[in-house]
């Protein structure tokens, strides 16, 4: 039985792939970089003895989910675990970015994630037990000036995942959404997170291994929404408690 993981070439996605390989799932890895996927595939095959295949694809592209499904069907892979992890942010004022840049991020973080759930649902439902694991972010709990679109895409991921889980409650498919806080991956570099914000998060940053283990354990435990780490849980609680204008001002101060 296969687990399909998007964004599996590095960071949290790679570690989720390793966690699933430890549980003897065969793996399908997706990201843009073929060479990095090949390295991860070889590493996992050598260490865990499971089957691993990969597809290099840009999941920001229109109809990316259908492209992935076609590849899976052509190879007769049976996917029982779908992990929608690929995503990124970009720090800076909303109008610093072009329409195309903003659209690419929204496509990857929201549209392709949604369409992956849609196109793979019939296959997942054929299994007596199947799982969807969607990776949102702790930014789903507040508006985030300087990362306005990114944080908003993660609100979408969280609420979509919760509603989907409810709709599927009488089916064999369980849906889990994970909301990680700062995690030590390539995310900060790609997002161009300013030094001040990196420094602020330094002491509470988790490793991708920690986040991946919590994610996979939570998925198999059938949990709905999980914030890894005590400090991140506390942060989400405080963001809920405090006036929105205050949390937004604090966040903006860290990013400026
Ligand atoms: N790190 C954090 O602090 C943090 C916090 C909260 C939530 N998250 C979320 O965690 C998830 C994983 O991020 P990460 O921290 O592990 O970041 P990362 O180290 O940058 O990994 C991102 C993964 O997504 C892939 N990817 C990026 N753009 C893609 C595209 N257009 N098409 C296909 N694959 C693409 C990357 O591979 P290629 O570059 O080869 O395509 C890579 O495998 C994201 O959804 C992110 O929003 C991260």
128-149: pLDDT as tens digits: 999 999 999 999 999 999 999 9
Asked if 10 and 186 count as a contact pair (C-beta separation under 8 A), the reply is: yes
For residues 221-232, average pLDDT: 97
Give pLDDT tens digits for 176-223. Answer: 999 999 999 999 999 999 888 888 888 899 999 999 999 999 999 999
Percent of the chain with pLDDT over 70: 100
Mean predicted confidence (pLDDT) in 92-103: 96
Task: Tell how far the Cα of 31 is from the centroid of ligand 1, in angstroms.
Answer: 9
For 56-65, what is the mean pLDDT? Answer: 97
C-alpha of residue 136 to centroid of ligand 1, in Å: 11
**Torsions phi, psi of 163, nearest 5?**
-65, -40
* CB 213 within 8 Å of CB 151: no
The protein residue with its alpha carbon nearest to ligand 1, atom 7, reads: 137
Atom of ligand 1 nearest to the CA of 13: 16
> Whole-angstrom Cα distance, residue 237 to residue 231?
10
Average pLDDT over residues 94-109: 97
From 88, 90, 158, 203, the mutation candidate for ligand 1 (largest count of ligand atoms within 8 A of CB) is 88
**Four-way CATH pick for 2-255: 3.30.1360.170, 3.40.980.10, 3.40.50.720, 3.30.565.10:** 3.40.50.720
Question: Which of 31, 112, 228 for a ligand 1 pocket mutation test, highest count of atoms within 8 Å of Cβ?
Answer: 31
**Residue 86 CA, ligand 1 centroid: distance in Å:** 5
What residues are in contact with ligand 1 under a 6 Å CB criterion? 7-13, 31-33, 36, 58-60, 85-88, 108, 135, 137, 180, 182-183, 185-187, 190, 208
The predicted model scores a pTM of: 0.98
Residue (of 89, 91, 87) closest to 255 by Cα position: 91
Q: Which has the closest alpha carbon to 136: 154, 149, 153?
A: 154
Ligand 1 mean position, distance from CA 85 (Å)? 7
């Amino acid at each position: 039985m296969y687990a399909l993981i998007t964004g599996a070439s590095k960071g949290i996605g790679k570690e989720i792939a390793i966690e699933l390989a430890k549980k003897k799932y065969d793996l399908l890895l997706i990201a843009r970089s073929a060479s990095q996927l090949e390295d991860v595939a070889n590493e996992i095959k050598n260490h865990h003895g499971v089957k691993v295949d990969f597809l290099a694809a840009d999941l920001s592209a229109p109809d990316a989910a259908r492209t992935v499904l076609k590849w899976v069907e052509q190879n007769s892979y049976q996917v029982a675990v779908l992990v929608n992890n690929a995503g990124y942010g970009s720090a800076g004022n909303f109008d610093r970015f072009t329409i195309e840049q903003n659209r690419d991020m929204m496509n990857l973080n929201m549209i392709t994630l949604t369409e992956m759930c849609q196109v793979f649902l019939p296959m997942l439902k054929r299994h007596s037990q199947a799982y969807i694991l969607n990776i949102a972010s702790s930014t789903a709990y507040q508006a985030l000036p300087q990362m306005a679109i990114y944080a908003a895409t993660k609100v979408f991921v969280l609420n979509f995942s919760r509603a989907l889980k409810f709709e599927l409650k009488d089916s064999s498919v369980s849906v889990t959404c994970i909301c990680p806080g700062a995690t030590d991956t390539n995310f900060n570099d790609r997002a161009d997170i300013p030094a001040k914000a990196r420094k602020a998060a330094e002491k509470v940053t988790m490793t991708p291994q920690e986040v991946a283990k919590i994610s996979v354990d939570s998925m198999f435990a059938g949990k709905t929404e999980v914030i890894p780490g005590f400090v991140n849980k506390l942060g989400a609680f405080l963001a809920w408690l405090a006036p929105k204008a205050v949390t937004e001002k604090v966040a903006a101060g860290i990013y400026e």
